[in-house]
Amino acid sequence: MSHDLRQPDDDDPVIMTVDQRSVWAYLTVVLITSTAYFVVVIPRALSQPIEDVSWIAPMLWAIGASIVGTIVGSIFGSIGGAIGLAIRGIEPKGQLEGDLRDKDIKRLGDRRGALISGGAMFGVLVLAMIGADAFWIGNLVFLAGTVGALVEGVTKILAYRRGF
């Protein structure tokens, strides 16, 4: 099978697999959307009685935006990688698509993140039991999910760069 593209030499720069690019997209997007959410909602919570704070719409927007943003970011990351290789005339196969190592890293990160967010569910249960306002319950879930996502992302990036 002949290509117009060449195999990379050892001194060609090492690029990220699409899985690693997805992690960066995920991390970036979650940071942005959660920051935006808190910037909007915390001032409201500080200036109004808790039951009156309108937090649901901002939260749904934040969650929706992070899902869409991660997908879009991952796609752009993959395309960018493919174009970068094509410009240098390098065959993309064997550098972009994830392999067993990417799966191992994903498992490690997912697990660490899930431990954090899952553990917080217990606190959420307690809040529901004591009849806390929906505001506190919803925001604990959101906070737990955000922290879990950040831990997951950072764990994976460190594993990619430093090994594990």
Partner 1 sequence: MDFQLRHQGWGLAASLVWFVTYWTLIIVRAATDDVSFTKVAWQHPLLWMLAAGVTIYAAIYAYSYWSTRGAIRTDERDLEIRRRSDAAGAGFTALGAIAALVMLALGVGAFWVAHTIFVASFLGTLASTGQTVAAYMDGFDR
Partner 2 sequence: MPPKPTKVTNQVRALRFESGEMTQADLAERLKVTRQTVIAIEQGKYSPSLEMAFEIARVFKRPLDDVFQYAAGGTDDQPSS
| Residues within the interface to partner 1 (CB under 8 A) | 56, 59-60, 63, 100, 107-108, 110-111, 114-115, 117-118, 121-122, 124-125, 128-131, 134, 137-138, 141-142, 144-145
For 39-60, the three-class secondary structure string (H helix, E strand, C coil) is: HHHHHHHHHCCHHHCCCHHHHH
Nearest distance from C-beta of residue 83 to partner 1, angstroms: 33
Give dist(CA 78, CA 20) in Å, integer.
10
Q: Could you tell which of partner 2, partner 1, none binds residue 97, using a CB distance below 5 to 8 A set by kind?
A: partner 2
Residue 145 touches which of partner 2, partner 1, none (Cβ within 5-8 Å per kind) = partner 1
What lies within 8 Å, CB to CB, of 50 at 6+ separation is: 133, 135, 136
| Closest by CA position to 95, among listed 10, 1, 18, 11 | 18
Distance CA 19, CA 105 (A): 10
Question: CA separation (Å) from 96 to 13, 103, 112?
Answer: 13, 14, 25
Placement of tokens 């099978």 in the chain: 1
What residues form DSSP beta bridges with 6? 90
Q: Does 4 bind partner 2 (CB under 8 A)?
A: no
164 near partner 2 (CB under 8 A): yes
Q: Which stretch binds partner 2 (CB under 8 A): 25-33, 97-105, 111-119, 136-144?
A: 97-105
Which listed option, partner 2, partner 1, none, makes contact with residue 56 (CB within 5 to 8 Å by class)? Answer: partner 1
Closer residue to partner 2 (CB): 52 or 104? 104
Residues in contact with partner 2 by CB under 8 A are 7-10, 14-17, 93-102, 159, 162-164
